[in-house]
Each structure stands twice: as C-alpha cells, then as structure tokens.
C-alpha cells in the first residue's frame, strides 16, 4: 500500500467507563474500517460511541446499547453507520 491510510472512525469510551475514572468519555482509538470500530465499542460496552467527521462536524454514528449491541453483528453496525453517513447533517 502506498501513501497513508485515512483513519475515518473514532472510538470513544463510555462516560461511566471504569467508574468514571481517567479515560472515561475519551478517545481510545482511530480506525480505518467501521467493523473494527464496532469490535471496539462492543468491548467497551454501553455508552461507547463511534464518531466520524461529516461536513466539518463531529457526528456520533453509533452508540453502543442505544443503537444495539455491536457484538451481535459488526456488519449490521457497518450498514447503519454507512446509512447515517449519507444523510445530510
């Protein structure tokens, strides 16, 4: 692969992560593929989010627990996220 891969998706830990200690609500990863982001939010649990910059704005495209359980199907997360990316903000 030539050049640098663009890391499109950002994963944030839930606000209540580790009882609200350091790292809660913070950026924990940047990834290229939405399926990778889905695996991470499944690990972090309810309240973890996947965000993407769309039109210059940071948009939450998935919230674990609210939108479903990412661990059930990373592909389902990918479909929903891609639909939300196409809707004007």
Q: Cα–Cα distance between 1 and 5 in angstroms, integer?
A: 9
* Residue 11 token pair: 């994963």
Q: Cα–Cα distance between 25 and 44 in angstroms, integer?
A: 11
- Walk along the chain (89 residues) and give the pLDDT tens digit of each residue: 455 668 899 999 998 776 666 666 889 999 999 999 999 999 999 999 999 988 888 999 999 999 999 999 999 999 999 999 887 65
Smallest CA-to-CA distance from 31 within 63, 5, 56 is with 5
H-type alpha helices, the chain: 34-44, 74-86
Q: What is the pTM of this model?
A: 0.85
- The residue with tokens 């479909």 is 79
Write down the domain spans for the chain: 9-86
């Amino acid at each position: 692969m030539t050049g640098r891969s663009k890391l499109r998706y950002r994963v944030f830990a839930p606000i209540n992560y580790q009882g609200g200690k350091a790292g809660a609500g913070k950026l924990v990863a940047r990834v290229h593929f939405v399926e990778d982001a889905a695996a991470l939010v499944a690990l972090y649990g309810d309240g973890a989010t996947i965000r993407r910059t769309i039109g210059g704005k940071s948009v939450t495209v998935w919230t674990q627990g609210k939108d479903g359980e990412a661990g059930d199907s990373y592909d389902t997360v990918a479909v929903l996220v891609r639909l939300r990316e196409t809707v004007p903000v």
